[in-house]
A and B are shown apart, each in its own frame.
Chain A
């Protein structure tokens, strides 16, 4: 990183080039399973399992078409609904809470933060049995709203921590100035604070979207036919596993696409989100 400042000599340049090649190779190796998944998705089934693996084949969209004939739509709509609703709910609950913890701190702020994060550490297996039994009694099994509620609870602690760290960055002077100018609370929130934390809101939403779109455990245990999400659609291929690789690869590609694209676009926010706001 500091090589630019140093005079670049012959052997140094060669070793830098070697490192670059090495980095590229590792990057490609890491990406390879994804690449192979996408390639397989465009194959005919007969080309999908050959020994040695084949790179030369006639690409086809047949697999993607077949997915929608196989009834992929309801799964995607369920995932979309659960992801969107839970993310909105999380923001609705987390932003005021983070405000209370960052801007106008309540007593025992540390305890409250501790409590939130401890709910994240509670293993889900420890609560799945009662959730299943209770949901069964109130008729909430196989209901998409059950997933919305659980995904909200799952992401709430992360969102509170993240939003608190973003709100803390607003300089106190800015808020004082707004108060001095006679801005109401509403005005301060909407005109002053919102624009400043907009990137933070986006980062928080991104993390919530990733975790709820990819969630499997609650979905497999609490839904069946009506509310099943995309991961369950993929699992459906396991029964005939080994026979329909190309079909499976197409489904896996399509299922991963939304989150992969979102993550690519928002790489910078990703780091901060994954560290719950600790790393800027």
Chain B
């Protein structure tokens, strides 16, 4: 909607054949663009240039602890990456963690939002309690989960589950992915709940009242009025949540170190290991490039959705 404004703002004067209007139009164009440039240049310098360098590194064999080991090897890093069993496992774990966290957090978030979207005593207090996990520093949250919550001997979780015969179950080593996802769900449910709650509160009262007058039951009302209205908010939550959760590093670093073995390593953590513990620049870079390509595919779809959301908002 914005592009037509830009083109019509500079009135074309067909009667004057001189170059003056062209030049002033160009000057006007630059005046409009100028405030945008610092941010653009900064973003390009800090994000795009390093990525181009990553592309170059991915074509080289280079180990940081062996100075002078750098040499051009073409695509062989990529061949190694795809042959790497751990890489495939890390990719799979990334999908499990992201999908598991986003789906569970969204389901809980919708439930919580429905509960919060009523008038009751202490509503704002409960809302404050619920958003807190999202504000806690992820490293701090992960440490709390690993120690006081999930510790086999002194953890609260096993204490609560002891009537059900949980015993001394060692969560972070016996069920590392479940543990990581639990901590992530705890962190991201408030985010989902807040977004969905905003959606619920933007519902037109008149539609709901009309539904009630027509004698629609609560379930029917939810399915045919509320849910379609919420769709946009749920999509937005899933998308933004996924962007962040795909890059999860803190919880894995703190709670499992990717282990036992590589059972709970996701791609960010595995690449970190290869780059900063294995010092294998070429391989780490190649993995980074593969991750970016995967992300681009998903992101293109996601962005289209996001723009649709914003376009509706602009109207």
Contact partner, A4, options B54, B119, B295, Cβ 8 Å: B119
Q: Is the CB of A24 within 8 A of B144?
A: no
Q: Which of chain A's residues have a CB closer than 8 A to the CB of B314?
A: 168
Q: Given known contacts A130-B50, A134-B50, is B7 in contact with A107 (CB within 8 Å)?
A: yes
Q: Which of chain A's residues have a CB closer than 8 A to the CB of B115?
A: 19, 22-23, 26
Contact partner, B291, options A3, A126, A235, Cβ 8 Å: A126
B75 at the interface (CB under 8 A from A): no
Which residues of A pack against B, CB within 8 Å? 1-6, 16, 19-20, 22-24, 26-28, 30-34, 36-37, 40, 49-53, 93-94, 96-97, 99-101, 104-110, 112, 114-134, 149-150, 152-153, 156-157, 160, 165, 168, 210, 213-214, 216-217, 220-221, 230-231, 234-235, 237-238, 241-242, 245, 248-249, 251-253, 255-256, 259-260, 262-264, 267, 270-271, 274-276, 278-280
- Stretch binding the partner chain, chosen from B13-21, B34-42, B76-84, B173-181: B34-42
Contact partner, A100, options B36, B47, B275, Cβ 8 Å: B36
Q: Is the CB of A1 within 8 A of B119?
A: yes
* Distance in angstroms between the alpha carbons of A132 and B288 in the assembled complex: 14
Q: Is the CB of B307 within 8 A of A110?
A: yes
Q: Is the CB of B46 within 8 A of A50?
A: no
Q: Given known contacts A97-B39, A150-B46, A274-B191, is B135 in contact with A252 (CB within 8 Å)?
A: no
Contact partner, B249, options A1, A150, A216, Cβ 8 Å: A216
> Which residue on chain B has the smallest CB distance to residue A32?
B156
Q: Given known contacts A28-B129, A100-B33, is B159 in contact with A52 (CB within 8 Å)?
A: yes
23 A-B interface contacts by CB (under 8 A) = A19-B120, A24-B126, A27-B130, A34-B144, A36-B144, A96-B39, A97-B35, A97-B38, A114-B303, A117-B306, A126-B51, A127-B54, A129-B57, A130-B57, A165-B310, A214-B137, A235-B254, A248-B143, A253-B140, A260-B132, A264-B132, A264-B135, A280-B313
Q: Is the CB of B246 within 8 A of A123?
A: yes
Q: Is the CB of A259 within 8 A of B135?
A: yes
B: interface residue count bin: 35 or more
> Which residue on chain A has the smallest CB distance to residue B272?
A125
Q: Which of chain B's residues have a CB closer than 8 A to the CB of A249?
A: 144, 148
Q: Which of chain A's residues have a CB closer than 8 A to the CB of B288?
A: 123, 125-129
* Distance in angstroms between the alpha carbons of A215 and B255 in the assembled complex: 17
B153 at the interface (CB under 8 A from A): yes
Q: Which of chain B's residues have a CB closer than 8 A to the CB of A267?
A: 127-128, 131
Q: Count how many pairs of residues, one from A and one from B, have CB atoms less than 8 Å apart in the complex.
A: 330
Q: Is the CB of A245 within 8 A of B147?
A: yes
* Distance in angstroms between the alpha carbons of A158 and B53 in the assembled complex: 25
Chain B 107-133 near chain A by CB (<8 Å), digits 1 or 0: 000001001111111100111111111
B24 at the interface (CB under 8 A from A): no
* Distance in angstroms between the alpha carbons of A165 and B309 in the assembled complex: 12
* Distance in angstroms between the alpha carbons of A219 and B190 in the assembled complex: 26
Interface centre among B51, B137, B268 (most CB of A within 10 A): B137
Q: Given known contacts A49-B154, A279-B195, is B47 in contact with A153 (CB within 8 Å)?
A: yes
Interface centre among B46, B148, B202 (most CB of A within 10 A): B148
* Distance in angstroms between the alpha carbons of A2 and B209 in the assembled complex: 8
> Which residue on chain B has the smallest CB distance to residue A264?
B128
Chain B 224-267 near chain A by CB (<8 Å), digits 1 or 0: 00000000010010001001001101100110000000000001
Q: Is the CB of A131 within 8 A of B50?
A: yes
Q: Would you call the interface of chain B mostly helix, strand, loop, or mixed?
A: helix
Q: Given known contacts A24-B126, A33-B141, A278-B306, is B291 in contact with A125 (CB within 8 Å)?
A: yes
Q: Is the CB of A220 within 8 A of B253?
A: yes
* Distance in angstroms between the alpha carbons of A97 and B276 in the assembled complex: 36
CB distance from B256 to the nearest CB of A (A): 12
> Which residue on chain B has the smallest CB distance to residue A161?
B310
* Distance in angstroms between the alpha carbons of A214 and B134 in the assembled complex: 11
> Which residue on chain A has the smallest CB distance to residue B35?
A96
Q: Is the CB of B147 within 8 A of A248?
A: yes
CB distance from B30 to the nearest CB of A (A): 10
Q: Is the CB of A97 within 8 A of B40?
A: yes
Chain B 1-15 near chain A by CB (<8 Å), digits 1 or 0: 011011101000000
* Distance in angstroms between the alpha carbons of A207 and B302 in the assembled complex: 22
> Which residue on chain A has the smallest CB distance to residue B149?
A33
Q: Is the CB of B195 within 8 A of A255?
A: no
Q: Is the CB of A133 within 8 A of B151?
A: no
Q: Given known contacts A248-B143, A278-B236, is B137 in contact with A149 (CB within 8 Å)?
A: no
Q: Which of chain B's residues have a CB closer than 8 A to the CB of A34?
A: 132-133, 136, 144
Q: Is the CB of B143 within 8 A of A121?
A: no
* Distance in angstroms between the alpha carbons of A97 and B41 in the assembled complex: 11
Q: Is the CB of A156 within 8 A of B42?
A: yes
Q: Is the CB of A252 within 8 A of B43?
A: no
Contact partner, B154, options A51, A127, A152, A274, Cβ 8 Å: A51
Within 8 A of A (CB), among B71-107: none
Q: Is the CB of A217 within 8 A of B249?
A: yes
